[in-house]
């Protein structure tokens, strides 16, 4: 498995409402919360590792 495929765990503190909205957003797009976060990173961070 390459470094780009290795997974890690991220602990994130959200409000209950934000969590519901995020899960609904992901479900509406037939993806996961991790997928939404990955798309956000690709879009706003250029997918670069720091």
Does residue 36 contact residue 22 with C-beta atoms inside 8 Å?
yes
Give me the pLDDT at residue 47, please.
58
Single pTM value for the model: 0.78
pLDDT of residue 46: 84
DSSP symbol at 15: -
47 or 4, greater pLDDT = 4
Predicted confidence at residue 36, as pLDDT, reads 97
- Spatial separation of the C-alpha atoms in residues 37 and 26, rounded to whole Å: 10
**pLDDT tens digits, one per residue of 2-27:** 777 899 999 999 999 999 999 999 99
Domain boundaries of the chain, sorted by first residue: 16-45
The two structure tokens encoding residue 48: 């670069």
């Amino acid at each position: 498995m390459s470094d780009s495929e290795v997974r890690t765990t991220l602990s994130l503190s959200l409000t209950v409402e934000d969590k519901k909205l995020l899960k609904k957003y992901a479900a509406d797009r037939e993806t996961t919360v991790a997928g939404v976060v990955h798309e956000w990173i690709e879009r706003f961070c250029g997918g670069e590792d720091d």
